[in-house]
């Protein structure tokens, strides 16, 4: 129903089409995918590219390829609102802790998807909230991303002591395989006895694995550049305030607006209080990437599931009355429904103007 769509994407279209075809559960960049170089013998895939394009480093002084030679290195591309990376994080964090004294260096490369993810204060807050203490290269200009010819969040690259990439994995999953690669590279390095035990992860909240068996709703963006299945009764008016009305019924994976909104390239912004977003979904978890359009402000909201306050099905960011407050730009968990998992009609009503919403993700 959109009158115009900006088709320009910064990633290679062919790769993205393959990604969508392979998973059907993620869109474009932030996706669950099992595309690895899992072959016996860990072949050499290339040399560790330069890291000098990072605009800043957190938790560490800047690290160079020469300084990393002699160490086993795990490079993790991430962006802090990506649900797929959030569910991978407990494993990366556990590997960094378990194998640090045996010679493993974990480096997170934070390459932002949304403009607000370029804000250093937002990234620092994410590191604190997510208990990340390993080195982080801030890649706001995509220089490191391009040097690796990377296309995915999350992505893992495994580098041996000679600075050679020996394995990679894109997306969630294959955690045992990834840890076996770490163990093999450390054993090759001869840094000491490397046990064969796997890390044990107690992932909760955002980090809990998706309920893949019941997941039938893919990630969907709200800005006009990448959205799908918009179903408000009038066509979208791009980059201008407009009053929308949601239909009485939505089909699975359709979404709609009510109230006065501006639909932009990356996000939608609420101009007057009382606006709503509705989404018909099928998943255990529903998340929304959003934040106040003006820093330092807050926006109150209430969540309804099938027309009733989200109480039994409330997510981490919703209280016992089905209400919450948006105070920062991040991913919010709004629904975690108990079994049985089935189609649900989600609605979020904002009691204040000024919310900026970017994407829905599910789990």
The CATH number covering residue 264 comes to 2.60.120.260
Q: What is the mean pLDDT of residues 61-84?
A: 97
Q: What is the DSSP string of 231-263?
A: --SS-B-BTSEEEE---S---TT-EEEEEEEEE
* 30 pLDDT tier (thresholds 50, 70, 90): low
Tell me the average pLDDT of the chain: 90
Positions of E strands within the chain: 35-36, 46-47, 56-58, 72-78, 104-110, 136-138, 155-159, 164-170, 220-221, 241-244, 255-263, 268-270, 276-281, 285-292, 299-305, 308-309, 323-326, 330-336, 344-350, 355-362
The number of domains in the chain is: 2
Residue 24 belongs to some domain of the structure: no
- Domain boundary residue, one of 207, 234, 268: 207
The pLDDT of residue 33 is 43
225 and 194 fall within a common domain? no
Residue 36 has pLDDT above 80, yes or no: no
Is 10 among the domain residues?
A: no
Q: Are residues 288 and 319 in the same domain?
A: yes
CA neighbours closer than 13 Å in the CB half-sphere of residue 91? 23
pLDDT of residue 21 exceeding 60: no
Report strand pairing: 299-305 vs 220-221: unpaired
Query: Mean pLDDT throughout 46-72?
Result: 97
pLDDT digits (tens, 9 = 90+) for 201-238: 999 999 999 999 999 999 999 999 999 999 998 889 99
Residues ≥6 apart with Cβ < 8 Å to 21: none
**CA pair distance 166, 48, nearest whole angstrom:** 10
Q: Which of 329, 241, 344 is nearest to 290 (CA)?
A: 329
pLDDT tens, position by position, 303-333: 999 999 999 999 999 999 999 999 999 999 9
If asked whether residues 241 and 195 sit together in one domain, one would say no
The residue from 150, 179, 207 where one domain ends is: 207
CA dist., res. 257 & res. 82, Å (int): 23
Domain-embedded: residue 62: yes
36 or 363: whose pLDDT is higher? 363
- Asked if residue 85 and residue 177 are part of one domain, the reply reads yes
Average pLDDT over residues 152-162: 97
The confidence score (pLDDT) of residue 38 equals 39
Segment 79-136, tens digit of pLDDT: 999 999 999 999 999 999 999 999 999 999 999 999 999 999 999 999 999 999 999 9
The pLDDT, as a whole number, for residue 193 is: 81
Q: What is the mean pLDDT of residues 257-264?
A: 98
One domain, residues 229 and 113? no
> In the chain, what percentage of residues exceed pLDDT 70?
89
Residue 171 has pLDDT above 60, yes or no: yes
Q: Which domain holds residue 327?
A: 220-362
Separation in Å, CA 63 to CA 1, 45, 111, 158: 48, 21, 17, 16
Q: Is pLDDT at 143 greater than 90 in this prediction?
A: yes
Between the CA atoms of 111, 115, 116 and 120, what dihedral angle is there, to the nearest 10 degrees? Answer: 50
Residue 17 domain flag? no
What CATH number does the domain containing 100 carry? 3.40.30.10
Quote the DSSP letter at residue 54: -
77 or 45, which is more confident = 77
Task: Name the percent of the chain lying above pLDDT 90.
Answer: 85
Do residues 138 and 262 share a domain?
no
Q: Are 74 and 107 in contact (CB under 8 A)?
A: yes
Beta-carbon neighbour count of residue 283 at 10 Å? 26
Give 105 or 38, the one with higher predicted confidence.
105
What is the average pLDDT across 248-269?
A: 97
Examine the fold and report which residue of 207, 240, 268 is the final residue of a domain before the chain moves on. 207
């Amino acid at each position: 129903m959109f009158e115009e769509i900006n088709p320009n994407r910064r990633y290679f279209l062919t790769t993205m089409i393959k990604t969508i075809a392979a998973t059907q559960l993620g869109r474009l960049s932030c996706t669950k995918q099992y595309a690895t170089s899992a072959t016996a013998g860990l072949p050499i895939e290339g040399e560790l590219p330069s890291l000098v394009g990072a605009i800043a480093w957190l938790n560490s002084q800047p690290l160079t390829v020469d300084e990393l030679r002699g160490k086993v290195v795990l490079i993790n591309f991430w962006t802090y609102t990506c649900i797929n990376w959030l569910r991978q994080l407990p494993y990366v964090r556990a590997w960094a802790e378990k194998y640090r004294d045996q010679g493993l260096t974990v480096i997170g490369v934070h390459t932002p998807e949304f403009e607000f993810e370029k804000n250093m204060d937002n990234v620092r807050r994410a590191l604190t909230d997510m208990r990340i203490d390993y080195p982080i290269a801030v890649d706001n200009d995509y220089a490191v991303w391009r040097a690796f010819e990377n296309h995915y969040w999350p992505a893992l690259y495994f580098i041996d002591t000679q600075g050679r990439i020996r394995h990679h994995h894109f997306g969630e999953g294959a955690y045992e395989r990834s840890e076996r690669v770490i163990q093999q590279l450390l054993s090759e390095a001869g840094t000491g006895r490397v046990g064969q035990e796997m890390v044990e992860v107690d992932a909760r909240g955002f980090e809990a694995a998706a309920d893949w068996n019941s997941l039938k709703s893919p990630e969907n963006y709200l800005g006009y550049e990448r959205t799908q299945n918009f179903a408000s009764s009038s066509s979208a008016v791009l980059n201008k305030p407009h009053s929308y009305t949601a239909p009485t019924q939505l089909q699975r994976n359709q979404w709609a607006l009510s109230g006065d909104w501006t639909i932009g390239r990356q996000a939608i912004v609420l101009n007057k209080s009382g606006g709503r977003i509705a989404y018909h979904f099928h998943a255990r978890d529903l998340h929304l990437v959003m934040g106040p359009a003006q820093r330092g402000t807050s926006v109150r909201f209430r969540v309804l599931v099938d027309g009733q306050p989200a109480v039994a099905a409330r997510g981490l960011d919703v209280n016992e009355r089905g209400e919450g407050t948006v105070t920062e730009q991040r991913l919010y968990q709004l629904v975690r429904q108990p079994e049985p998992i089935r189609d649900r009609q989600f609605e979020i009503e904002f009691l204040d103007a000024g919310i900026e919403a970017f994407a829905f993700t599910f789990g």
